[in-house]
Structure 1
Amino acid sequence: MKPAYEHVSFGDGCSVRVYHRQLPRIPFEWHHHPEYELTLTLNSHGKRYIGDSITAYDADDLVLVPPDLPHTWSSNRSIDADAPQVAIVVWFSGEWARRLADCCAEYAGLHRLLRRASCGLAFGAEMGRALYDKRASILSESPRERLAAVLDALCLLADAPAEPLASPSAFAAPKGKDGAIERGRPTGHEPERINRVLSLIDTRFAEPLRIADFCEAASLSERSLHRYFIQHVGESVSRYLLRVRIGHACRMLTDTAWPVSVIAARSGFPNAAHFNRQFKTLKNTTPAAFRKQFATTGFEPDTAATPLTARSPSLERPSRRQAA
């Protein structure tokens, strides 16, 4: 399924765009854009799709999505049936966020946050409630007050516990406006030895690879490689390689009709049975079930006819005349 491109306009004199969306239901809208997106979803429970991550969500759901990673939420049930479902959405450019972090020590945490967010991040409900408490300032009519509130929120999230969502390389996209790197890959601040291992995985993930291959690429012992990789990437080499392979498999499951056995082979798995076991361990579902969820566009049966009733003007697709 090809995600739709969404145009986000910020308006004159604005560095962030904030949208207060209120709907009886949240429709499935698989899309991407070159901006970072911070979304707080309230009075809603359903499914959240971030790259190849499909997860049930509930109240006070707070997620940071990196540039050009396809995503959507889908819900046909409010927690409080008498109130609308609400999404407070903040879009911002990584370009100015990184520049601010470079020149102001007070905002150095932005670097950590954007690096951690390369695969998308889901924060705990307590962080969702903390952002909700800032809603008056975030939704202010004053651009300066909105920016200050968003910066405060981002710095609060910089070191907050969060769960990575998509697999590295899942739904890889071209660079965004801020020069965003390949989806899910670490930011390039890693030592050259670790970058050689990352490059090896990126180019040869579908081949049989051994720890010895990575040690040779990095000129490190197995013990040192393990320690450095966890320090700079946040997980072991074998775990990272598995997530890269599963990410590529997820893209083929959604974009092609190839048999699972073919996808397994093209993703670096020796056979379909091994692929199915690893996929279910990582995704808590089977490859066939994962494909079916996208094939049915994420809707439960009674939501298929639900139209999109409210849309941010900045997210309307530009006409051909405007696009020219």
Structure 2
Amino acid sequence: MKPAYEHVEFGEDCSVRVYHRRLPRIPFEWHHHPEYELTLTMNSHGKRYIGDAVDDYAAQDLVLVPPDLPHTWSSNKSVEPSAPQVAIVIWFDGDWARRMADCCREYEPLRRLLRRAACGLAFEPPAGEWMRGRLEPLLSHVARERLSAALDILCTLADAPGRPLASPSAFNQTDTGPSGHEPERINRVLSLIDARFAEPLRLADLCAAASLSERTLTRYFVQHIGESVGRYIARVRIGHACRMLGDTSLPISVIATRSGFANVANFNRQFKAAKLTTPAAYRRRFATERAATQDEEARLMERSPSLQRTSKQRRERA
């Protein structure tokens, strides 16, 4: 099976990308990307596929995957059925890690970590338990705190016991994926689409960003992304619309315009084809699901009720 090419978006002000994923089950998503990936999987057990290494995994599974090695996790069962399965992911660039080691001797352990992870590295359970205790700063809303926590985790893991996973020949599975300068060129196009999806996008502009002909760019998208340029742009626009439907009370006509659709009719048609429901029905369903998980989110994002009442009383007295 050809692995899908994943574009990892770091953001303009971040050196690492931290992703907090919660879902009822972990689907099989065979993919690769040019970044290193450290993944801690919790409340989940199933199969882990790293290159040609297939293993069972359980709670607090901690694995470091090197660039362009196909991988995925797959699980239909949670350790605790009433709670979601969780994956905490740190993506980082290998050249960035080496530059950090060059500039700061304190980060020399990063070199050892990258060498050990050449074919993937599965850490022993105590390392996963230790990282679990570091999640608060790693999931901070402050980018500097996330960076500090990520560097501390990576440097500590440089000497943590672990075992290699894939054989060197497993990297050949990406021969049908991006190689050479293709990831950089595709990333430039994807970044342009992410920044300007709400505007009319011409194929000629995307080709200019990648320094590719229209025929070559079209072929790259179908081969590496798995869909045409037009379908990818439509998917990005629908994804943005979904976020606005869930996070705002803006009229659907406004959301359609801000998501890059010329008119509401076209938006409704494409949205229903992609999500098998209308935008209005999606918004209602999202509101219901959000209410069902409000108690869980409150533990992470809100003050305790007593502090909220105290603040309210102070405002009323003022």
TM over 0.5: yes
Q: Does 1:75 align with 2:75?
A: yes
Contact kept? 1:68, 1:176, Cα under 8 Å: no
- The secondary structure found in structure 1 opposite 2:170 is coil
Amino acid at match of 1:165: L
Runs of 4+ with >2 A deviation: 171-179, 316-319
Counterparts of 2:121 and 2:140, CA distance in 1: 25
1:1-324 equivalences in 2 (<5 Å) = 1-172=1-172, 173=174, 174=179, 320=229
- The secondary structure found in structure 1 opposite 2:171 is coil
* 1:40-88, Cα deviation, whole Å (9 max, x unpaired): 0000000000000000000100000000100000000100111111000
1:55–1:176: structure 2 CA closer, same or farther, 3 Å change rule?
farther
The Cα shift of 1:178 comes to 10
- The secondary structure found in structure 2 opposite 1:19 is strand
1:178–1:130: structure 2 CA closer, same or farther, 3 Å change rule?
farther
1:262 is matched with none
1:117–1:177: structure 2 CA closer, same or farther, 3 Å change rule?
farther
The Cα shift of 1:319 comes to 6.6
- The secondary structure found in structure 1 opposite 2:156 is helix
Counterparts of 2:126 and 2:227, CA distance in 1: 38
Higher helix share: 2
1:197 is matched with none
Counterparts of 2:183 and 2:23, CA distance in 1: 31
The percentage of aligned residue pairs carrying the same residue is: 66
The Cα shift of 1:171 comes to 2.9
Counterparts of 2:108 and 2:72, CA distance in 1: 29
Larger CA deviation: 163-172 vs 85-94? 163-172
| Equivalences, count | 187
* 1:151-183, Cα deviation, whole Å (9 max, x unpaired): 00000000111010000121324468999xxxx
1:256 is matched with none
Is the radius of gyration larger for structure 1 or structure 2?
A: 2
- The secondary structure found in structure 2 opposite 1:54 is strand
Counterparts of 1:148 and 1:88, CA distance in 2: 16
RCO comparison, higher one (Cα < 8 Å, 6+):
1
Counterparts of 2:107 and 2:52, CA distance in 1: 31
Counterparts of 2:158 and 2:14, CA distance in 1: 22
2:201 is matched with none
- The secondary structure found in structure 1 opposite 2:39 is strand
* 1:218-260, Cα deviation, whole Å (9 max, x unpaired): xxxxxxxxxxxxxxxxxxxxxxxxxxxxxxxxxxxxxxxxxxx
Counterparts of 1:167 and 1:176, CA distance in 2: 25
The Cα shift of 1:102 comes to 1.5
- The secondary structure found in structure 1 opposite 2:168 is coil
TM-score, normalised with respect to structure 2:
0.56
Amino acid at match of 1:150: A
Contact kept? 1:94, 1:178, Cα under 8 Å: no
1:6–1:52: structure 2 CA closer, same or farther, 3 Å change rule?
same
**Long gaps (5+) in structure 2:** 185-224, 234-318
Amino acid at match of 2:27: P
Counterparts of 1:176 and 1:103, CA distance in 2: 27
TM-score, normalised with respect to structure 1:
0.55
1:161–1:78: structure 2 CA closer, same or farther, 3 Å change rule?
same
Structural RMSD (CA): 2.2
1:313 is matched with none
The Cα shift of 1:12 comes to 1.2
- The secondary structure found in structure 1 opposite 2:26 is coil
The Cα shift of 1:125 comes to 1.1
* 1:239-297, Cα deviation, whole Å (9 max, x unpaired): xxxxxxxxxxxxxxxxxxxxxxxxxxxxxxxxxxxxxxxxxxxxxxxxxxxxxxxxxxx
The Cα shift of 1:142 comes to 0.7
**Long gaps (5+) in structure 1:** 180-315
Contact kept? 1:93, 1:178, Cα under 8 Å: no
- The secondary structure found in structure 1 opposite 2:97 is helix
Contact kept? 1:35, 1:176, Cα under 8 Å: no
Amino acid at match of 1:133: G
- The secondary structure found in structure 1 opposite 2:80 is coil
Counterparts of 1:52 and 1:27, CA distance in 2: 18
Counterparts of 1:177 and 1:64, CA distance in 2: 24
1:178–1:64: structure 2 CA closer, same or farther, 3 Å change rule?
farther
